[in-house]
Amino acid sequence: MGTILTSVVAFIVAISLLIAIHEYGHYIVARLFGIKVLRYSIGFGKPLWSIRRGRDDTEYCISALPLGGYVKLLDGRETDIAPEDEGRAFDQQPVPQRIAVLFAGPAFNFLFAIAAYWVLFVQGVAVVSPVVGEVEPDSYAAEAGLAYEDRILEVGGREVSGWEDTLITLLGDMVDDGRVPLTVERADGSTERLTLDVGRDAARLTEPGVLFDGLGFRPWSPPVVVGEVNPDSAAEAAGLASGDRIVAVDDVPVASWRELTEALSPRPGETVAITYQRGGDTRTVETTLSAMQSDGERRGILGISNRIEPSERRISIQEYGPLEAVGEATGKMVDTTVFTVRMLFRMVVGDVSLKNISGPVNIAQYAGSSASAGSEYFIGFLAVVSISLGVLNLLPIPMLDGGQIVYQTVEWVKGSPLSERAQMIGQQVGILALIAIMGLAFYNDLARLFAP
């Protein structure tokens, strides 16, 4: 119940904040051009709270449905213009000014992403080195020649420093032709060029959660070396001590903390055999797992922390000064925006799985997990969603800012507005397109939620 509440609250906070910023872009640019703003609303439907301010008596309100928002401008196509407001209606402005007002919403989403990344870069961002972990036999990774503890230096000729930029570049190259050139540094220090070749399997590999399993490798994680042993835990009962290296559970090898967790989590209260190494000796001991509640489920735990040796710390901190961070944050926003646009285009042509389209349920889950993980993760989540919101609003769909910009551009070129019939057809097509996108997003949400 607590996890669901966290997700709902985090989702409402995230969406309300990003929509407020988006609509503020429309609002402030309209005000700069002298356009009269009638209403600034966060959410749709019946206003829950409202207040009027300023010489234009603008209504500021929070409405019942927190899945959107809008700025209502004075417009002669919708109402009569009072004599004192002549020249202040949206439709009475030159076309370039109208386009600027429409573009300002997405632009403010991109500016917010820069600000969010700036905060992260100034306080320091943890970057996990792209080192390869376990490689499955007869997989794409094995066929390419990837091996345990290979450090990926370049993807498609582009230098990479962490898993995030590695995956973004890898996905981008993979959907182009199914081949991804890699430069790796072997464990012995030598450098080698390899090629991941997934052929026509690229679209399947872009499905959420499929990439690593589909390619046949995992990011490296340190071996399980016992750090602290919790009092009154299964580990203490088994006699485990700091420095012991756990190598198997019930004779099944475990090479990482992830594998240990996967072996123990489904077995709360059960007795398991733990094989570990101490001082050159290998020993096996049986112990009954403790249980803990996590995400509404009982999970088996041993009651230890993982000790990472200094030589195995493959996490660096990217930290920049206030001025340098501006350039880094802007570059990060541009890279993420370009990647988002490329993936959307690839979805349209069928190179990327449509299962990547997420609806409010999945976004809420991400919001909740990032909020629970800490402010750094939540800020990063807000930046990515803000960029997505900006890109989606620029799509040439008549109900969105991008569609309206297309209308204004056509009017600018031909010297007169589109006919009412053409605009009506466009609106109908836009509504159908949005319904289709929302329907697919909800379907994907439910499919993930009820997946076995």
Torsion 230-232-234-239 (CA) sign? positive
* pLDDT (tens digit per residue) in 24-59: 999 999 999 999 999 999 888 888 899 998 888 999
Q: Which residues are catalytic?
A: 23
Fold for the domain defined by 132-219:
Pdz3 Domain (2.30.42)
Query: Distance (Å, rounded) from C-alpha 37 to C-alpha 127?
Result: 44
* pLDDT (tens digit per residue) in 228-243: 888 889 999 999 999 9
List the single range of 257-266, 275-284, 336-345, 358-367 with lowest mean pLDDT: 358-367
* pLDDT (tens digit per residue) in 248-269: 999 998 877 878 888 998 888 9
Residue 130 clears pLDDT 80, i.e. is over it: yes
Share of the chain above pLDDT 90, in %: 39
Name the pLDDT band for 203 (thresholds 50, 70, 90).
confident
Q: Where are the domains of the chain?
A: 1-32+93-124+320-452, 34-90, 132-219, 226-310
CATH number of the domain located at residue range(s) 226-310 in this protein: 2.30.42.10
Name the pLDDT band for 104 (thresholds 50, 70, 90).
very high
Q: What is the pLDDT of residue 445?
A: 61
